[in-house]
Structure 1
Amino acid sequence: MRVFVTGATGWIGSATVDELLATGHQVTGLARSDESAAALERKGASALRGDLDDLDALKRGATGSDAVVYLANKHDFGPESDRAERAAVEAILGELVGTAKPFALANGLSGLVRGRAVVETDASPEVGPHADRGGSENLALDHVERGVRSMIVRFAPSVHGVGDWGFVKFVADAARRRGVSGYLGDGSTQWSAVHRSDAARLIRLGLERAPAGVRLHAVAEESVSTREIAEAVGRALGLPVSSIATAEADEHFGFIGGFYGLDMYASSARTRELLDWTPTGPTLIEDILSGAYGVAE
């Protein structure tokens, strides 16, 4: 397949490009800069210059492909990012109507359900242009009846590996900055995790095999407690480990404090059965202890 990838040089996107190329697919990645374009071309992919605000570029990428993977995000967690995602996804979907082309849209697990693991049949409550991420998950699924093979790929809060710049990196950075590796309260908050290579393989399998309208969970470990994460970070960095009061979360962790106290965990049982996907990468704790987020000097 010829696959158009937004976010193609990002943390998950770059691994996805590698996975697609390694399995014989052709890739065009959206590139915001000459540097990003050159990085894609060195891998053997093509580059399409543009960004999420360049709707014409997004339309060209979708029209010229057999499949689209949407992994880009402005990461400002605000209305501007939500509006941009809504407009970008609408532009791409408009080009895919009636084609039966696969469209894989990235989303997270936050805010879906409380008190249990999220499962693939749990619908997102975010609907409409003013919702979180512009309601893009439901927008994509609404286009199934319009002839788009839409699928949602929900990622664990930790997509880990060497070079990770996500949530666990911020936890490790806070530990170095404060001189103690912390967890909130009793540390029982649960996060799911998946290695970056396994997430990339899941996306590729989804494009190749998933039927229209499914939600796929990129989850290798259903639940890892934040206390386990903190203890592994402390061991790797040679720092003490301590509980942090919830009222001090922002002071200790920075912006990540608001997420560190949230349960974000999910099952991937249906995904594994549907796609015959078996994660093989290191666990989150193995990555932390092996030095993926720094080691004690």
Structure 2
Amino acid sequence: MRVFVTGATGFIGSAVVDELLGAGHQVLGLARSDTGAAALTAAGANVHRGDLQDLDSLKDGARETDGTIHCAFIHDFAKFAENGQIDKRAIEAMGDALEGTNKPFIVTSGTGLVAPGTVVTEDMRSTNPHVPRVSEQVGLAYASRGVRAMAIRLPQVHGKKGKAGLISYLVEAARKKGVAAYAGDGSERWAAAHVLDVARVYKLALEKGMADGVYHAVGEEGVPMSQTTEIIAHAVGVPVVSIKKEEAGEYFGPLAMFAGLDMPASSALTQQRLGWTPKEIGLIADIGQPGYFTG
């Protein structure tokens, strides 16, 4: 299968590209720069120039291939609402191009804000009107328009030095503030997964996922923030402190919306439906390795 991948040079997207190529698929990767294009070529993929705001380029990439995987997102939480709308328009452009083709179209969303405080499952749908990222709702709407539309929800993804989802931003906050903080008692849990396990979910969903299907690329249901914060403190060389939830805005900045949230998630249905089993190293063991967070 020839697959169009957005975000193909990013942390997760590049792992997806490698997984697809290793399984015998061909990849057409979106690249917005010469550096990105060179990286894709070196990986063995073909290059499609453009970016998330070049809607004609996105439509062409989707039309020219047998399936589309949308991994790209602008991760600037200070502009979360604006970037959510850019993502929405990009998904609509690709979805419109795919209408009536029954081609696979995978969009990316997250497990965290579906239903905080509950172990989120694949059968629970995201309905929170206050979450700026609406990729799941917009993408899955194309399942009723002749597209094999699916969504993959991601937890905190680790597996490459310096990369660990929102945890990477917490490391930077610890460096700036001189303390590693968690809100409340630190018992809230964040689901996690290794990037190589995540990449396999994308491949399996592409090959045999069902229209309107939601899949969880979750390796660990929930890792307590107290444990994660201890790792951050050790890596940065600062003490651990507990702060009140009302103080989260000052410490965490744009990430305050996630502070103190219990965000566990299950992948039991994904494992059953796709025949997937997570097998890579866990979050604490991985990010606790010397030098994982450097610089």
Whole-Å separation in 2 of the counterparts to 1:153 and 1:62:
18
State the match for 1:10 in structure 2: 10
Whole-Å separation in 1 of the counterparts to 2:55 and 2:262:
35
Q: Is the 8 A contact 2:162 2:293 kept in 1?
A: no
State the match for 1:152 in structure 2: 151
Name the amino acid aligned to 1:159. V
Whole-Å separation in 1 of the counterparts to 2:75 and 2:162:
18
Q: Offset of 1:295 from its aligned partner?
A: 6.9
TM-score by length of 1: 0.91
Whole-Å separation in 2 of the counterparts to 1:87 and 1:274:
30
| % same residue | 47
Cα distance, 1:175–1:75 mapped onto 2, change above 3 Å = closer
State the match for 2:177 in structure 1: 178
Q: Is the 8 A contact 1:169 1:293 kept in 2?
A: no
Whole-Å separation in 2 of the counterparts to 1:193 and 1:75:
18
Instruction: List per-residue Cα deviations over 1:74-121 (Å, max 9, x = no partner).
Output: 234434323222221111111211211111100012332133111111
State the match for 1:51 in structure 2: 51
Q: 2:118 aligns with which of 116, 119, 128?
A: 116
Is 1:41 the equivalent of 2:46? no
Whole-Å separation in 1 of the counterparts to 2:233 and 2:256:
17
Q: Is the 8 A contact 1:105 1:137 kept in 2?
A: yes
In the alignment, structure 1 segments of 5+ residues that lack a partner are none
State the match for 1:78 in structure 2: 80
Q: Is the 8 A contact 1:236 1:290 kept in 2?
A: no
Partner SS state of residue 193, structure 2: strand
State the match for 1:294 in structure 2: 293
Within a 5 Å distance, the mapping from 1:201-240 to structure 2 comes to: 201-240=200-239
Instruction: List per-residue Cα deviations over 1:39-61 (Å, max 9, x = no partner).
Output: 10111101111111111111110
Instruction: List per-residue Cα deviations over 1:167-206 (Å, max 9, x = no partner).
Output: 1112222223333322111001110000111111111111
Name the amino acid aligned to 1:58. L
Q: Is the 8 A contact 2:108 2:135 kept in 1?
A: no
Q: Is the 8 A contact 2:112 2:190 kept in 1?
A: no
Partner SS state of residue 107, structure 1: strand
Q: 1:107 aligns with which of 97, 101, 109?
A: 109
Q: Is the 8 A contact 2:104 2:148 kept in 1?
A: yes
State the match for 1:257 in structure 2: 256
Q: Is the 8 A contact 1:4 1:28 kept in 2?
A: yes
Q: Offset of 1:233 from its aligned partner?
A: 2.2
Q: Offset of 1:165 from its aligned partner?
A: 6.1
In the alignment, structure 2 segments of 5+ residues that lack a partner are none
Q: Offset of 1:276 from its aligned partner?
A: 1.1
Partner SS state of residue 265, structure 1: coil
Whole-Å separation in 2 of the counterparts to 1:244 and 1:284:
23
Whole-Å separation in 1 of the counterparts to 2:284 and 2:89:
38
Q: Is the 8 A contact 2:187 2:225 kept in 1?
A: yes
Whole-Å separation in 2 of the counterparts to 1:159 and 1:225:
15
Deviates more, 1:100-109 or 1:141-150: 141-150
Structure 1 runs of 4+ aligned residues shifted over 4 Å read none
Whole-Å separation in 2 of the counterparts to 1:194 and 1:131:
22
Aligned CA RMSD, in angstroms, stands at 2.1
Partner SS state of residue 30, structure 1: strand
Whole-Å separation in 2 of the counterparts to 1:90 and 1:139:
7
Q: Offset of 1:289 from its aligned partner?
A: 1.2
Whole-Å separation in 1 of the counterparts to 2:131 and 2:100:
26
Name the amino acid aligned to 2:216. H
Whole-Å separation in 2 of the counterparts to 1:168 and 1:131:
19
Name the amino acid aligned to 1:106. T
Whole-Å separation in 2 of the counterparts to 1:78 and 1:184:
22
Q: Offset of 1:292 from its aligned partner?
A: 5.5
